[in-house]
Amino acid sequence: KAGVTQTPRYLIKTRGQQVTLSCSPISGHRSVSWYQQTPGQGLQFLFEYFSETQRNKGNFPGRFSGRQFSNSRSEMNVSTLELGDSALYLCASSLASATNEKLFFGSGTQLSVL
Amino acid sequence: AQKVTQAQTEISVVEKEDVTLDCVYETRDTTYYLFWYKQPPSGELVFLIRRNSFDEQNEISGRYSWNFQKSTSSFNFTITASQVVDSAVYFCALSEATGNQFYFGTGTSLTVIP
């Protein structure tokens, strides 16, 4: 069974640009969550999608948005990039037949903002 | 407020030594879930254990063991007879009954020296 797949693996952007990251969950998983990982802040929750609806949202500005498609694949978009957005963005999926199930993580997208 | 504290930022041990990684959490909920994840250099977080707040039994899985004590709000992780392959960053995480949002500690970087 394929794991969680995130593309691209690396991205380099400049300030002011926007970026879209993609995540394909494990087959059958309906919940997709996004986390930002930085050396200073650690892993911080961005949002969670379940059945194409945002179910939970963390404390990030509106520049961070996401969506989920009918096949459970998810995209995350960051607009008007800032230097502080440089981070490893991790996607995680779960069956979500109930909440608080273990998350399966992808390898992440390393975003560098210059 | 929810919070997970991993006071040990970095630990180095010599191979075959035992090592304990500390995790202290804060939550107002009576129902919650605790997790440990391992992040090797590849970046993908690997699930190790999930424990709910009503199950205080300690657990052992091979060289890994976990000690959950509600009285001290701690969920510590011990690796017995450490190996070089155990070198990684280890994260403790908390998830409350409502919602699927995980609160991660800042991680403990473990280096096992051959």
**A47-104 pLDDT tens trace:** 999 989 998 899 999 999 999 999 999 999 999 999 999 999 999 999 866 667 889 9
- The pLDDT of residue A1: 65
What pLDDT, on a 0 to 100 scale, did the predictor assign at position B57? 83
Residue B97 has pLDDT above 70, yes or no: yes
Tokens standing for residue B65: 């063991």
CA distance B49 to chain A (A): 8
Q: Is A37:B43 a contact under the CB 8 Å cutoff? A: no
SS3 A85: helix
Mean pLDDT of all residues belonging to chain A:
93
Q: How distant is the Cα of A72 from the closest Cα of chain B, in angstroms?
A: 16
Which chain B residue shows the shortest CA-CA distance from A40?
Answer: B106
| B41 contacts chain A (CB < 8 A) | no
User: What mean pLDDT is predicted for residues B66-95?
Assistant: 95
Between positions 14 and 53 of A, the ones with CB within 8 A of B are: 31, 33, 35, 42-45, 48, 50
Please classify residue A95 by burial: count the beta carbons closer than 10 Å to its beta carbon, then call 0-12 exposed, 13-18 middle and 19+ buried.
Answer: middle
pLDDT of res. A97: 61
How many Å lie between the alpha carbon of A101 and the closest alpha carbon of chain B?
Answer: 8
pLDDT over 90 for what percent of chain A?
Answer: 82
**A50 vs B contacts (CB less than 8 Å):** 100
**Residue pLDDT, tens place only, B22-45:** 999 999 989 999 999 999 988 889
